[in-house]
């Protein structure tokens, strides 16, 4: 499966962005999907993940209550709605796909075999 992330940009603190991850090659319903991010000089970290059907989700504590992951399997697209953005959310955001059971949600990057190219999110103070 090939993944293409988009929707990043520059936003003021407190603002919102919605990232999209479009999949091609195989339908996204075959995969658990996740978002990760990597800030400059830091290691990649988990942000959010969603099960194949969308009924189960997990979030990093740092984004819980502000970010929402969702998916539209008919459109082969996964979304990350980001609200109340903070400067510390500045990073390159990646979407990823993992082979998973229907309700399974993976938080470790080791579980994800397919990665998109990343989209930059910059939050100004």
pLDDT tens for the chain, 125 residues long, are 999 999 999 999 999 999 999 998 878 788 999 999 999 999 999 999 999 999 999 999 999 999 999 999 999 999 999 999 999 999 999 999 999 898 999 999 999 999 999 999 999 99
Which helix (H) or strand (E) segment holds residue 59: the answer is strand 57-59
Burial readout 88-114 (b: 16 or more C-beta within 10 A, e: otherwise): ebbbbbbbbbbebeeeebbbebebbeb
Tell me how far apart the alpha carbons of residues 45 and 73 are, in angstroms, rounded to a whole number.
Answer: 25
Q: Which residues pair with 91 in a beta bridge?
A: 121
Number of H helices, E strands in the chain: 0, 11
Q: Which residues pair with 39 in a beta bridge?
A: none
């Amino acid at each position: 499966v090939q993944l293409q992330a988009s929707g990043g940009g520059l936003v003021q603190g407190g603002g919102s962005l919605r990232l999209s991850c479009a999949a091609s090659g195989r339908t996204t319903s075959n995969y658990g999907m996740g978002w990760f991010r990597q800030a400059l000089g830091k290691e990649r970290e988990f942000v959010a993940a969603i099960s194949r059907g969308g009924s189960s989700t997990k979030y990093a504590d740092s984004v819980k209550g502000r970010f929402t992951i969702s998916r539209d399997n008919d459109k082969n697209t996964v979304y990350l709605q980001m609200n109340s953005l903070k400067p510390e959310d500045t990073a390159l955001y990646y979407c990823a796909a993992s082979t998973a059971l229907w309700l399974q949600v993976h938080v470790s990057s080791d579980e994800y075999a397919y990665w998109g190219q990343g989209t930059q999110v910059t939050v100004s103070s």
